[in-house]
Chain A
Amino acid sequence: MSASPQLAAAGPVIPHYGTQSSQCVVHNHLFCWDWVEGNWSSVLWPALRQHVYLAVVAVSIGFVLSIALALLARRWRWTEQPTILITTFLYTIPSLALFELLVAPVGANIYAAEIALVSYTLLILFRNILTGLRDVPPDVLDAAEGMGMTRTQQLLRIEFPLALPGIIAGLRIAVVTTIALATIVYTIYDAGLGVPIHSALGEGPFKTELIAAAVLTIGLAIFADGMLVLIQRALTPWARARRAG
């Protein structure tokens, strides 16, 4: 592994990329657009799509689990400490190690990858959902009860909407963290933007693939974060009204 860059440099400097090696690639410029165009549909786009899939599945499962755990912790307070302890424990295990630890019982497949990614979202989402629900003013709940709302109605129509800013703040962190972590998935399962990054690491002086994959990874994280901000604005119109007033 560590010897591969040197090996690549000792061989022909420019790896050949099929038939379409352009002048830019042959002269090894810093960044070759035509390489990106030539490899978009075969390398970059599939990797990006898998990356999005890995992240969306992981955050969705993590979100549902965290809501369940938060509701549990609210009903039975004693479950809160063990949940925090276990999710903190999972969050502390370095990603590369956790992926390998899951390979033994689960196998080197997408399930191991998703289990690891989900386990990193739990701490953040659980804490934010629980804090969000707890911060709902008791007066508001009293008023809701006075209006004759049932517990379920209170939860769905009062508590969740009011907790939404906190919940979305947690989702933003979880999404961005998951997108970053999903670059390591390639070590156990051949998917995600880690694949082109890994192959770029073996390409020695040719940097286009690395730059393209890096920009896509970071760009995806920023884009997802921005989308969640827009969703929050759309879902909490009262916050905007208050700010304007």
Chain B
Amino acid sequence: MHEFVEAFRFIAHNGAVAGEPNLPSLAHLALETLKVGAIGVAISIVIAVPVGVVLGHLHRGSFLAINLGNVGRALPSLVILAIGDAFLGLGLTVVELALVILAVPPIVTNAYYAIEGVDPDFVDAARGMGMSEREVLFRVELPLSVPGIFAGIRTAAVFVISTTTIASLAGFSGSLGDIIANETSYHFSGVLGAAICVALLALAVEAALTIVQYFLTPRGVRYAGREGGSIAQATAAATA
């Protein structure tokens, strides 16, 4: 357990290592990780939520939604990053591209099943009340789907943080993974300290998104339960 004491000392000193004055601070790398990750998640949301929502609303494209999710899982982040590095050179653009490739499938799949799974009785009732297609989507289906859509975004955010750190293994510089990939400079205590920070960062992001989800979910839906079943929903689909 001595290693953990050293690791926490490393964290307490904000990533300073004796004899290595030019290393970036831990806080700086943590912020960089968040920044790189946030850009990736934001782009993925802009691309994936509308696709999933529209397909779910039309009850079309279940084949795409299921298989996109499955293909996404089969792609190891290290492989995508290494290929990006080999053919395009690993800059921020390529890392973001890799993040988007990994984050889009879970968001599309979950958004699709969230919207598609809205009780048809509600949709019929809304139409019977004279709502237009647009109103049905924005005032009935979307509010009811917030937990499901967020389950996908949370899964994607965790993938993204994980991949941002793995990018350092492929030679990208500018995330907490830099420390894990550079045991020579940071020693094992630094690597362990960075690993603790990465884990805490992922848990913090998940918690923050859960809070955002809570406030975006209409009160009636909140109490109805259905705690974000991203995986349960995706699997239910794969069964069908």
Contacts and interface: CB of A to CB of B under 8 A. Distances in A.
Given A96-B195, A187-B169, A200-B82, A104 B3 contact: yes
Nearest to B228: A88
Contact of B169 (A127, A198, A207): A198
A180 B229 CA distance: 22
B79 interface: yes
B199 A98 contact: yes
A218 B74 contact: yes
A94 B171 CA distance: 18
Interface in B39-93: 70, 73-79, 82-83, 85-87
B4 interface: yes
B85 A201 contact: yes
Interface stretch (B21-29, B110-118, B125-133, B177-185): B177-185
Nearest to A203: B86
Contacts of B75: 180, 218
User: Is the interface on chain B under 10, 10 to 19, 20 to 34, or 35 or more residues?
Assistant: 35 or more
A92 B202 contact: yes
Contact of B182 (A1, A5, A177): A1
A127 B83 CA distance: 34
A222 interface: yes
Given A5-B85, A98-B199, A214-B79, A169 B239 contact: yes
B191 to A, nearest CB: 5
B162 A96 contact: yes
B235 interface: yes
A1 B171 contact: yes
A95 B166 contact: yes
Interface string B166-205: 1011111100011011100000100110111011001100
Interface residues of A, number: 53
Given A169-B235, A169-B239, A181-B76, A5 B162 contact: no
A128 B232 contact: yes
A106 to B, nearest CB: 11
A194 B77 CA distance: 11
B78 A183 contact: yes
Given A96-B166, A169-B239, A222-B74, A210 B192 contact: no
Nearest to A221: B74
A122 B165 CA distance: 23
Contacts of A176: 70, 73-74
Chain B binding surface SS class: helix
A100 interface: yes
Contacts of B1: 104-105
B170 to A, nearest CB: 6
A159 interface: no
A187 B4 CA distance: 19
Interface centre among B75, B169, B206, B232 (most CB of A within 10 A): B169
A62 interface: no
B239 A165 contact: yes
A179 B82 CA distance: 17
Contacts of A170: 235
Nearest to A181: B76
B228 to A, nearest CB: 10
B238 interface: yes
Interface string B122-159: 00000000000000000000000000000000000010
B211 to A, nearest CB: 15
7 contacts: A1-B171, A1-B182, A94-B199, A98-B195, A105-B1, A173-B235, A201-B169
Given A99-B195, A173-B234, 19 more contacts: A2-B168, A2-B171, A4-B171, A5-B171, A92-B203, A94-B199, A95-B162, A97-B196, A98-B199, A100-B192, A100-B194, A100-B195, A127-B231, A131-B236, A180-B75, A180-B76, A197-B79, A207-B86, A214-B79
